[in-house]
Amino acid sequence: MSNTLRWVLRTRVEDRSGVLARISAVCAYWAVSLNLVQNSETERPGEVAILLGFSATERKAQLLLRHVARLDSVRQISLLRHDEPTLRAVATVQLAGGARPRCPGNVDIHPLDGKSGYLLIGPLHGVEECLSELRRSGLLHNAGRALVAL
């Protein structure tokens, strides 16, 4: 599978020691590599929101959803496709050779420095498409990304 995110599991879990390790173990058991793990505080004390991004078939994504939902510390979980309108992405990229990224029209491109750094903001699907094209063309030197689930 590629680095492109096709699915995102949005979870709310009890903030306990080892919860992320248990989720990772379920993913490893079903041979799903997580391409993105992002956690943040929620409005409820003792609860954490975790976004898990991965690339898998729909069948495997549904299977993962069912098995992660069975963990005792998971309070809420949903599976989102990469083109879900509520998923937004922010990526910082460093390009080789002073190139400028060419992205879909729904992705905003902002220069970060005078050389080769850029900030990409837009729907997850558009940002992922842009990152894939930069990888394919050999222009991507390095990248970091974050998700926002509205």
pLDDT digits (tens, 9 = 90+) for 27-82: 999 999 998 899 888 888 989 999 999 999 999 999 999 999 999 999 999 999 98
Asked whether residue 104 is domain-assigned, the answer is: yes
In this structure, are 28 and 63 located in the same domain?
yes
How much is the pLDDT for 127?
92
Query: CA torsion angle for 147, 87, 125, 2 (degrees, to 10)?
Result: 50
Distance CA 21, CA 138 (A): 34
What CATH number is given to the structural domain containing 68?
3.30.70.260
Distance CA 86, CA 51 (A): 13
Residue at a domain's end among 29, 55, 81: 81
Q: Which domain holds residue 145?
A: 87-149
Asked whether residue 144 is domain-assigned, the answer is: yes
In this structure, are 102 and 68 located in the same domain?
no
Asked whether residue 125 is domain-assigned, the answer is: yes
Confidence of residue 2 (pLDDT cuts 50, 70, 90): low
Average pLDDT for residues 118-135, to the nearest whole number? 92
In this structure, are 14 and 28 located in the same domain?
yes
Residue at a domain's end among 27, 46, 81: 81
Asked whether residue 34 is domain-assigned, the answer is: yes
pTM over 0.85: no
